[in-house]
Amino acid sequence: MTTWSLRRKPGRTLGLLLLVILSFLVLRRYLRLESSSCAQEGARRFNWSTLIPLWLRHRQLGLQAKGQNFMLEDSTFWIFGGSMHYFRVPKEYWRDRLLKMKACGLNTLTTYVPWNLHEPERGKFDFSGNLDLEAFVLMAAEIGLWVILRPGPYICSEIDLGGLPSWLLQDSGMRLRTTYKGFTEAVDLYFDHLMSRVVPLQYKHGGPIIAVQVENEYGSYNKDPAYMPYIKRALEDRGIVELLLTSDNKDGLSKGVVPGVMATINLQSHVELQSLTTFLLSVKGIQPKMVMEYWTGWFDSWGGPHNILDSSGAPLPPPPDLLPKMSYEPMTPAFYLSLWDALQYLEPIRSEKPINMENLPVNNGNGQSFGYILYETAIASSGVLRGLVRDRGQVFLNTVSIGFMDYKTTKIVIPLTQGYAMLRILVENRGRVNYGDNIDDQRKGLIGNLYLDDSPLKKFKIYSLDLKKSFFNRFGVDKWTPVPEVPVFPAFFLGGLSVSPTPLDTFLKLEGWEKGVVFINGRNLGRYWNIGPQKTLYLPGVWLDKGMNQVGTLPASYLFPRDFFPSLSSLASACFPGGLGRCSASRLSHPWRLFFLAPA
């Protein structure tokens, strides 16, 4: 076998070296000519000069933790970050919001990735439109922001089930956020798809992602010591090469640290900052101090107070101009469809026993994630009705509302009837908790058997009211009638509103309405409930069209006086459960239709 020896053949070595150099020079000139047009196009599309100084043109080391400092390549780097969730902001407003972050003096964007929105059905992925993660990350780079990605799979984020898809709960033995086989198999398939999109966006591949978070606040859950190492490997095995981080609050920091992963903290006050950094020093040694979440606000709960936290700091540069807003005139819904009349256009599921929402045989076997569910069964006697209803069920005898069942009220008296009567329970899914030890118990609908005087009821008809566009498409224009003086609840309501040629942002106020859900042009704008503290719903102008817009509400079922029919005001609106009212939307300019469903 022939071997090369450089020391023995200096002439051959020199000739080979010259040949390599000459070939490289010719190839480089050719590539420059071929790629000049592409480079010019790329320069027009992405202004990387704002993001990459000369000393960063050769990316090798990425973001590192060295002693007390972060280093980007060989230079000290300060992270001034802020969060923006692409899936919660209309895509048309991404640039505006990112520019405002930049104007605040920030250099880094942090964002979650919601699994439940990207994989609404097992194996079916959606990264289009408002869920276009890659477009969002590249836009951040264009504007001059680095990115810290927080891909979960659990993200908390005050989103349904912490961002985990509800179809996971079809498995009665499911143990979320553990190495339970049914969970890890689903995570692996999701990460296979997601990371193929994320890997090219990393810093070392020329993108803006400088760090990736491993799960989210797992120290507060901490049900499986093998879980976090599994997630770390799942990221690394799929090509994640940037700095890995964990993120924990004061309750979970002691149990959330992972070997080989830098720990960061979530907090609300400087008092917590001192105690938590002292703890980290004792556990992880000297490392940069980083707050992943500094809570300048807090979420509200229906019926509770409005939470306000002190968010004062140092003076900041002036922000960009605010987007214009518009105030619209009040309107009253004109058309209506009782839920009982709507049932003839829906196909019920027949079952011997109640089926919870996640296990309904709908959506290609993936169950139902959101919305309402109606259960019907015939009864021939009075008695005490008992069962577990998640989250809130309105009970009807034929079409008459006789009360509610929820977490606190698990029993209700069924009055005397003559002969057979139809027992109906309209159950509302008010959202799955996103944080805490009970995320495995977030199935919705009727859970287990429903009993009448301790005898389980049988032979149910179950209607899936998932409130998707396909659901509302079943109700053509010929199905609607003018709103009567005394509507029968629950019911859907539909209205029209004329708005000027350029739709602008506004807020929907539902004076006189009690409880429900609002839809604008097929988009779910949000819930409302007169117990507060929230009083209005934000309506982005980009969700309105020139000409006619559709606005509606969902099954509402509360009684009201014959002469009481409030309008929707200051915005556009829709309702489900509670009494009718007027909706108004700030200053009218072109017609839109309001779509409401109100329960009884």
Q: Cβ contacts of residue 407 below 8 Å, gap of 6+?
A: 390, 391
Residue 350, strand partner residues: 461
**How buried is 55 (Cβ within 10 angstroms: 0-12 exposed, 13-18 middle, 19+ buried)?**
exposed
Q: Cβ contacts of residue 347 below 8 Å, gap of 6+?
A: none
Give DSSP secondary structure letters for 233-259: HHHHHTT--SEEEEEE-TTTHHHH--T
What crossing angle do the helices spanning 133-143 and 181-198 adopt, rounded to 10°? 40
User: 119, 217, 358, 514: which is the annotated catalytic residue?
Assistant: 217
Does residue 293 carry a catalytic annotation? yes
Q: Which two tokens stand for residue 62?
A: 């990425």
Q: Check: CB of residue 596 under 8 Å from CB of residue 493.
A: yes
The rounded distance, in Å, linking the Cα atoms of 244 and 260 is 8
Element (H, E) at 383: strand 383-390
Does residue 217 carry a catalytic annotation? yes
The beta-strand segments (E) located in 290-334 are: 291-294, 330-331
Q: Check: CB of residue 477 under 8 Å from CB of residue 315.
A: no
User: 119, 242, 272, 293: which is the annotated catalytic residue?
Assistant: 293
State the pairing for strand pair 460-465/349-351.
Answer: antiparallel
Helices (H), 252-321: 253-256, 270-284
Integer Rg of the chain from CA: 29
Instruction: Look up tokens 């709103």; give the residue.
Output: 483
Please give the positions annotated as active site.
217, 293
